[in-house]
Structure 1
């Protein structure tokens, strides 16, 4: 299985079977889908009122955060350059960041000028040294191998799954696996999405653990043309097929398949009707790459297409009856064991263009305070070079963007890179100081979950950390 995607084969299977049947959008869920739950709760919440959306941008493969946010101060940069050697970015190429209350000067990767502008305008914050944690880990405990760690710490598939689920599961565990995006949606569905005609969780990157709830998975929405089930030669075949899917089946597996397919057809019809009224937005996002274009154009279009569709779904939120939406987008290619100095700039340039286009679209809808975008990745990367790139690491630096962000700040810390620093384990790995649970809980509180027990349920490791809200959202 590719390191860049935990679900490549699963995604292909599901998309080809259900999404193709539904003409570009599929709903992969148990019979009790979230949209059915919302319908059952319709009388309990308000249909109007405040709107909020969370947009997860997952950088598949493990982005190298050490070259994303770099210390620029003379002493700090010298420590960085000494550790990074052939991977170090020249000090004069870094984009200066005027971070408030930062202990030393910082710079952003030179491939991200628009992201740097978002930071300088106060619409973006940096989360320094975030990672998968079950509890706080010290250098001493890690080096002595007494620390309690997440499962398979440096494995792509395991860490993508843990990042998105925050659950430690044994091979014999039969309880349903869920993601924190799915749990979050179910916590706020009754109070904030009681009139929704579709699930709150909308994926632009296929099936993923993040958006799985007890009641089902996300609605997987294609970024291309949304088409109906069609039969040009036999128009009556469509009605006949839908009639077949309306007949209950005695076999449990066949019945579950029937219900999932029927739900895909129904949800697709709602989606197609709503998106017919969405703005086109093609000119607002990176165009398809042309022959001879740099690789960054391909990455910008790949992620930009997903974010363009997210912007369209935000635009038609009223038609969908949604006051809360959670989006999942992904960009692969960040597993830079080789040719990192050539590949990462192209990846980050594509990310920069897509994120900036999305923020402009949200602002054009006057929803910049209601939409928060956040990045995630498998893990960070090794501080030292392997000769041509970097290997799997642990702690990483991430972004959160939007009008509600208390921006121009670093939450957590950019590590001390001097020799003997307590921030790095004996094997050279950066030990995270912010847990994914804390990161997610801060987003969830802004999204509408304020009850302490509910947050503990959504983020099962949160109780092990003293700081429950990192303060990057107002």
Structure 2
């Protein structure tokens, strides 16, 4: 599959933006949320999600490297197995004490795990092993007996994407993502009355839609403007169309609904133009050379770095960013295609983290990867099929890097970690635990955590002085 087609698939995973959907997406209604009484922070923090649409085969991304466990891995994966000689060694500083390697296409993440620039004090990356959607903890016996509630429509792309983004795997009556609900709690308390806390570089994402707040959709070139202020040609059809739209909304209407619609539309346009002005005025020449010009994923991250640097100008003490990279549904051509895609992702993530360090912003940003689900350990002949538990990356200055967290599964087929269908690992760490740890750092109060993560009490006591997983450094969370 060529890069152009994969990019199309990735972009197609996001909702298409017509004029009406753009309007609905961009309006920051500033409705009051469920904000708990708390002092507005003086610092800045950003949570960035890179969603790998299609289901990344993460058991060829993170691989056991010791002889005994690698032998099990090789027997289970058969012709898909990567040899120890090609794996890039990960040198753990604690963690589970086991030996691991990362895919050979990831030299940058290897360096971020082992220590940026060879400095072990700059271990910026870690992995959370065998993480997935759960309503409550479940064993293989309970799974087979169906004696415990299970996530709805396991192994379905659309359902599992929704569940990673909502953290409500049993389904819900209203569609809101957990970053959106976090914005319901925090936005009016921590941010100025300007741009929405939740900014997407990849179209509409359920993750960032709240019950009383919404996301702000932009591109890696800046904002989506109705006025065409980024179009130089005065006679460009889009500029003429947008000028007509501006004229329409500036009319005086007797109907209250029309008045309200016009006012909100005008506010949305002005916010977009304000954002675009700030974005275009920021000089990122100090970091631009870090991002490969032919790598469109890297260009998303370059834009994200600019948006993080602009937090103060945008009035954002708390900010989430959503990026996506599609095309990971490798039922065939797994070895060749994943290697190429991991090369692109590795370069993008590495450039982004280097840029943050260069701008001295590394301690205020956490990046994590999410994907529909893991993939089967057993090959289908050419690739792998839909599964459940997977490995996720967490990255940033607040992360206690250089470690593998969670419980890495037994990769033996039919083991107690396998549902019994081709090596579908049963998650031993819930996405709720992963999200709750980042949200504690982000500033969501314990009293509001069950609003943001309705199932969190099944995995973690939000009033605990400890963390659910422990991948954050001491002193970085409240």
TM-score (norm 1): 0.86
| Pairwise CA distance, 1:242 | 2.4
2:441 maps to what in 1?
446
- 2:88 is the alignment partner of 1:88: no
Deviations 1:299-331 (A, max 9, x none): xx2211211111111111111111111000000
Kept in 2, the 8 Å contact 1:7–1:207? The answer is no
- Secondary structure of the structure 2 residue equivalent to 1:415: coil
* Residues 257, 350 of structure 1: alpha-carbon distance in 2 compared, 3 angstrom cutoff: farther
* Residues 466, 27 of structure 1: alpha-carbon distance in 2 compared, 3 angstrom cutoff: same
Q: Distance in 2 between matches of 1:434 and 1:391?
A: 21
- Secondary structure of the structure 2 residue equivalent to 1:67: coil
Deviations 1:99-142 (A, max 9, x none): 12434211111100110110111211110000011110101011
* Residues 148, 238 of structure 1: alpha-carbon distance in 2 compared, 3 angstrom cutoff: closer
- Secondary structure of the structure 1 residue equivalent to 2:276: helix
Q: Distance in 1 between matches of 2:60 and 2:407?
A: 15
Matches within 5 A, 1:339-350: 339-350=333-344
* Residues 182, 140 of structure 1: alpha-carbon distance in 2 compared, 3 angstrom cutoff: same
2:150 maps to what in 1?
149
* Residues 9, 18 of structure 1: alpha-carbon distance in 2 compared, 3 angstrom cutoff: farther
| Pairwise CA distance, 1:465 | 1.3
Aligned length: 442
- 2:379 is the alignment partner of 1:379: no
* Structure 1 gaps, min length 5: 20-25, 289-300
- Secondary structure of the structure 2 residue equivalent to 1:341: helix
Matches within 5 A, 1:38-437: 46=40, 49-99=42-92, 100-121=94-115, 122-168=123-169, 175-193=173-191, 195-224=192-221, 229-230=227-228, 232-233=234-235, 241-246=245-250, 247=252, 250=255, 258=262, 261-280=265-284, 281-288=287-294, 301-418=295-412, 420-427=414-421, 428-437=423-432
TM-score (norm 2): 0.85
Kept in 1, the 8 Å contact 2:377–2:411? The answer is no
Q: Distance in 2 between matches of 1:410 and 1:277?
A: 40
| Pairwise CA distance, 1:147 | 2.9
Kept in 2, the 8 Å contact 1:50–1:323? The answer is yes
Kept in 1, the 8 Å contact 2:106–2:342? The answer is yes
- Secondary structure of the structure 2 residue equivalent to 1:64: coil
* Residues 135, 213 of structure 1: alpha-carbon distance in 2 compared, 3 angstrom cutoff: same
Kept in 2, the 8 Å contact 1:56–1:329? The answer is yes
Deviations 1:191-211 (A, max 9, x none): 321x24100100000001100
Kept in 2, the 8 Å contact 1:340–1:390? The answer is yes
| Pairwise CA distance, 1:257 | 5.8
Q: Distance in 2 between matches of 1:421 and 1:151?
A: 23
Deviations 1:58-117 (A, max 9, x none): 011000111011011111000000000011011110111111243421111110011011
| Pairwise CA distance, 1:364 | 1.4
